[in-house]
């Protein structure tokens, strides 16, 4: 484990592990955290893994971990790393197994106070309408040809086939489609795992959550985002399901076997990588993009299911649920960023980290050109979630990135041993939070005690100007896998 001397405080929210801390580090490591969060970052291998990331060929500026960081596969979750397009590598461990796990927020014109008595019914209908659980399939069973269309078309496929709204596309990161996706680079096994999982949330920390807007921090930006005090909104958090997991598994094996031929030597086999410009690197990048497209399509289909449930229970048109934004937080993208006064084309790995592009960025919708993009940070079950806005400082300091959630502080196994799920459910209900879960085990492992303090995590990125607070959401209904 890293010692106190090596972790040097730069300012209130930023700590540095200097490049000199280890002979093989190519860049320093940056840790964004208020001091109260450092203890959790030291409890596992987060900081050791961050130092390992700093050794990757072609890495630029710094290896970064956000305040929600914790130990992951190879890279810490909450990690950001940018490698040079020409000279750098791409690493599946820097994206994660659940490719394009992400979050979207649907907003309504309805006040919670006016429909409080219907929340239990709405949560039950959402639970009935949206399949959940490990390996659980949905109502859509796609042919191989249809799967190829989804992998190439992303959210556009859902819209074209009646499972989404055209206006949603403008409010999805990358419009819900990466153009360089190549379905041919996705294995038959991965396709088979995904053929019946569109419109499903899976298990783990994935959810559909009904929230009310509890507090507004920035009136002007909230108005631009269509948010108001007491408003009912719906968060959706899920990714590419078994398909994305299989893509990661397939290419990790390929990279482990191929690294000797590229002369690559890394301190942890979980950092398996390949030169981005190589055939192996490009094959993975195109397969990852296809899996990302699948995830965006999945969240669009789930939104269709949410709108159907809304219309049935609330007796209002489902189209009244407007998509504020959809963000990815397990992905790699080619982006241009300034380093030492010069523009560089980079492969930006974000694993458990969210884009936070600031005002004026050409890559965000015109609606948000003055405010910066909406940034969606879900809390743990039963705690607050946040809506923030991207900043120019984020573009300068963290490759346009910020945190993605509360971040685990306890393993799922430990949580299940500590938490009595029936008691937890009663406590949530006592706090006016309706809950539908696939199992008591799944409920226990996602208990709030298993996560960091979301308020401290968000306060860190707000003070560091990686994203600024716009609104705080309080859960009133939760659907878990």
Q: What is the CATH number of the domain that holds 234?
A: 3.90.1860.10
Nearest to 106 by CA among 237, 195, 270, 198: 237
- pLDDT at residue number 300: 98
Per-residue pLDDT, 2: 56
For residue 318, what are the domain limits? 8-480
Residue with more model confidence, 3 or 41: 41
Cα distance between residue 385 and residue 73, in whole Å:
26
Helical residues (DSSP H) of 363-436, grouped into ranges: 392-397, 412-418, 421-430
User: Is residue 195 part of an annotated ligand binding site?
Assistant: no
Q: Is residue 3 scored above 80 in pLDDT?
A: no
Q: What is the rounded distance in angstroms from the CA atom of residue 444 to the CA atom of residue 425?
A: 9
Write down how long the chain is: 481
Q: Which two tokens stand for residue 20?
A: 């000199």
378 is in an annotated binding site: yes
404 catalytic residue (yes or no)? yes
- Phi-psi map region of 408: left, alpha, beta (phi>0 left; psi -120 to 50 alpha): beta
Token reading at 241: 């399901």
Average pLDDT, the chain: 94
Portion of the chain with pLDDT greater than 90, in percent: 84
132 in a labelled binding site: no
- Within 10 angstroms of residue 44's Cβ, the number of other Cβ atoms is 18
Q: Is 385 annotated as a binding residue?
A: yes
Of residues 178 and 204, the one with the higher pLDDT is 178
User: For the chain, how many structural domains are there in total?
Assistant: 1
pLDDT tens column, 317-333: 888 999 999 999 999 99
Which residues lie closer than 8 Å to 214 by C-beta, 6 or more apart? 229, 384, 472, 473, 474
418 vs 120, more confident: 120
Handedness of CA 444, 407, 248, 177 (dihedral sign): positive
Average pLDDT over residues 31-43: 94
Give the model's pLDDT for residue 201: 95
Does 472 belong to an annotated binding site? no
Residue 190 in tokens: 């991965």
Q: Is the pLDDT of residue 266 over 80?
A: yes
Tracing tokens 């461990």 back to the chain, one arrives at: 93
Residue 219 has pLDDT above 80, yes or no: yes
pLDDT in tens, 339-365: 999 999 999 999 999 999 999 999 999
Q: Which residue has the higher pLDDT, 468 or 42?
A: 468
Quick check: is 3 in a domain? no
Query: Quick check: is 92 in a domain?
Result: yes
On the question of pLDDT at 264 being above 90, the answer is: yes
Q: Supply the pLDDT for residue 4.
A: 53
206 assigned to a ligand binding site:
yes
Instruction: Give the C-alpha separation, 43 to 47, whole Å.
Output: 9
Q: Is 406 helix (H, G, I), strand (E, B) or coil?
A: coil
Residue 288 is assigned to a ligand binding site: no
Reported as half-sphere exposure (CB side, CA atoms, 13 A), residue 444 has a value of 15
Residues 139, 198: Cα–Cα separation, whole Å:
8
245, 349, 384, 404: the catalytic one is: 404
Burial code (b: 16+ CB inside 10 Å, e: under 16) for 282-308 equals bbbbbbbbbbbbbbbbbbbbbbbbbbe
Residue 2 lies in a domain: no
Rounded-to-integer distance, Cα 298 and Cα 377, Å: 19
392 is in an annotated binding site: no
Whether residue 438 is predicted with pLDDT greater than 60 in this model: the reply is yes
Q: What pLDDT is attached to residue 436?
A: 87
Q: Is residue 395 annotated as involved in ligand binding?
A: no
Average pLDDT over residues 96-107: 98
What is the C-alpha to C-alpha distance for residues 158 and 138, in angstroms, rounded to an integer? Answer: 14
The pLDDT-based confidence of 449 (bands split at 50, 70, 90) is confident
User: Is position 246 within any domain?
Assistant: yes
The lowest-confidence range among 127-141, 379-393, 466-480 is: 127-141
* Candidate from 131-140, 160-169, 226-235, 259-268 with smallest mean pLDDT: 131-140
98 is in an annotated binding site: yes
**Could you tell me if 435 and 127 are in contact, meaning their C-beta atoms sit under 8 angstroms apart?**
no
Query: In sequence order, which residues have a C-beta less than 8 Å from that of residue 189 and are 6 or more positions away?
Result: 246, 250
Count CA atoms within 13 Å of residue 306 on its CB side. Answer: 31
In angstroms, rounded to a whole number, what is the distance separating the alpha carbons of residues 189 and 53?
30
Residue where the block lists tokens 């060929």: 57
User: Does 424 fall in a domain?
Assistant: yes
What's the mean pLDDT in 134-141?
A: 80
Name 254's Cβ contacts closer than 8 Å, sequence gap at least 6: 274, 280, 283, 284
Report pLDDT for 447: 81
CA distance 298 to 439: 22
Kindly state the average pLDDT of the residues 279-306. Answer: 98
């Amino acid at each position: 484990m890293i010692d106190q001397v090596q972790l040097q405080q730069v300012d209130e929210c930023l700590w540095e592990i200097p490049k000199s801390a280890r002979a093989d580090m190519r860049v320093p490591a940056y840790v964004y955290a208020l001091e109260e969060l450092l203890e959790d970052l030291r409890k596992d291998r987060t900081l050791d893994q961050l130092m390992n990331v700093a050794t990757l060929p072609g890495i630029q500026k710094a290896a970064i971990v956000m305040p929600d960081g914790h130990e992951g596969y190879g890279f810490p979750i909450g990690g950001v790393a940018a490698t040079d397009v020409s000279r750098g590598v791409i690493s599946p461990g820097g994206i994660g197994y659940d490719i394009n796990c992400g979050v979207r927020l649907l907003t309504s014109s309805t006040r919670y106070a006016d429909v409080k008595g219907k929340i239990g019914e709405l949560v039950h209908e959402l639970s009935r309408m949206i399949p959940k659980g490990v390996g659980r399939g949905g109502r859509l069973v796609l042919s191989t040809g249809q799967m190829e269309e989804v992998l190439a078309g992303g959210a556009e496929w859902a819209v074209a086939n009646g499972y989404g709204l055209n206006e949603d596309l403008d409010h999805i990161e990358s419009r819900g489609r990466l153009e360089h996706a190549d379905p041919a680079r996705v294995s038959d096994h991965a396709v088979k795992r995904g053929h019946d999982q569109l419109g499903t949330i899976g298990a783990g920390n994935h959810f559909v959550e009904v929230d009310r807007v509890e507090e507004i921090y920035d009136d002007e930006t909230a108005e631009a985002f269509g948010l108001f005090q007491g408003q009912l909104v719906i968060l959706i958090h899920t990714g590419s399901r078994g398909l994305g997991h299989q893509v990661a598994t397939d290419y990790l094996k390929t990279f482990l076997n191929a690294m000797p031929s590229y002369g690559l030597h890394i301190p942890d086999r979980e950092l398996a990588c390949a030169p981005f410009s190589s055939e192996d690197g490009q094959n993975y990048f195109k397969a990852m993009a296809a899996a990302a497209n699948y995830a965006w399509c999945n969240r669009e289909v789930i939104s269709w299911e949410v709108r159907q449930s809304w219309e049935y229970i609330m007796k209002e048109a489902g189209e009244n649920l407007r998509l504020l934004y959809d963000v990815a937080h397990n992905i790699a993208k080619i982006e241009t960023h300034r380093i030492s006064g010069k523009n560089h084309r980079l492969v930006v790995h974000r694993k458990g980290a969210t884009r936070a592009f600031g005002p004026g960025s050409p890559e965000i919708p015109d609606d948000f050109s003055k405010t910066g993009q909406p940034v969606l940070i879900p809390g743990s079950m039963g705690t607050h979630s946040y809506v923030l806005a991207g900043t120019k400082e984020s573009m300068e300091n963290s490759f346009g990135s910020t945190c993605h959630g509360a971040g685990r502080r306890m393993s799922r196994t430990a949580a299940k041993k500590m938490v009595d799920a029936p008691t937890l459910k009663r406590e949530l209900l006592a706090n006016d939070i309706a809950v539908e879960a696939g199992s008591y085990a799944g409920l226990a492992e996602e208990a709030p005690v298993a996560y960091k303090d979301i308020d401290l995590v968000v306060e860190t990125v707000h003070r560091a100007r990686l994203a600024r607070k716009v609104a705080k959401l309080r859960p009133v209904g939760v659907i878990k896998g």
